Amino acid sequence: MINWTHAVITGAGSGLGLGITLRLLRRGTNVSVLDVHLPDKAREQLEDAAKQGDNRWQFFEADVTAPAGLCSAVEQAVAAFGSPGIALNSAGIVLNRAFPDLSTEEFHRVVEVNLNGSFHFAKAVLPHMKPGSRLALVASLAGLTSNYGYAAYGASKFGVVGLATTLRFEYQPLGIGVSCICPAEVRTPMVEKEKLDGNRISMELRKVAGSLDVDTACDEILAGLDRGKWQIIPGIRGKLTAFANRVFPRLFYRICSLVLVRVLRRQSLALQKSG
């Protein structure tokens, strides 16, 4: 377990970002929380975790799609707590929509937040990071395999994986570690909201990689960061899915295609019965 002095985390108002922030606070790390909004419940959780770890946290309203404001927030965070030992970008959005129903504006918005936001975050924090520190970008298993209905989300997360890969080449020789986090489905508020109107075919295909609760995912992610891992995929089924896609791509696509055909057949029969 690494006791980082200062962590800078975006998207820490909920989900994975909040879960990892709470764990770092409890172990004694000062944390700078960056988000567009911090709910009262999250503030209470952060205060309690900080008391347990006998340390401090601070909040800066920041949007990863606004680079000037993001850089300003990071500069203020560094001025208060010093150079970050770990910087984690967890801010992101999801859009689950089949390509014919996807608007140009929606596609650009997802890429702007997930991919460009990761770039803006890296640009903001890396000038302040020293040898021995670590940059972590949250991508997704969808950044390795994608999914039906993920034209925007999958493209943006593939981009995050590519960005992290390049940063690894450029910064690890300088002593700054880089991690790319690629979870399968984690039952965060964002994912639960997605399920309300997400594409049914996509929802069915996602079952291949399984689902994790937030606590389990955060524990595995933080353990991976402690070990200095490059690619962190929490959950056994997520790891197996990524392995199958990488080593047996044709077989993996064949299995997904069979699931796709089954769902389409089920939908066709349902339409026939209703008609």
Catalytic residues: 153
Q: How far is CA 225 from CA 55, 127, 134, in A?
A: 21, 20, 8
The conformation of residue 148, written as its DSSP 8-state character, comes to T
Between CA 43 and CA 49, with CA 48 as vertex, the angle to 5 degrees is 100
Q: Shortest CA distance to 208 belongs to which of 146, 143, 166, 159?
A: 146
Cα 230 to Cα 161: distance, rounded to the nearest angstrom:
11
Give 171-215 as a DSSP string: HGGGT-EEEEE--SEE--HHHHHHHHH--HHHHHHHTTT-EE-HH
Task: Kindly list the distances between the CA atom of residue 247 and the CA atoms of 164, 165, 209, 242, in Å, as whole numbers in the listed order.
Answer: 21, 19, 16, 9
The packing angle between helices 117-125 and 151-171, to 10°, is: 20
- How many Å apart are CA 123 and CA 167, to the nearest integer? 11
Instruction: Tell me the chain's radius of gyration from C-alpha atoms.
Output: 19
Element (H or E) spanning 51, and its range? helix 40-53
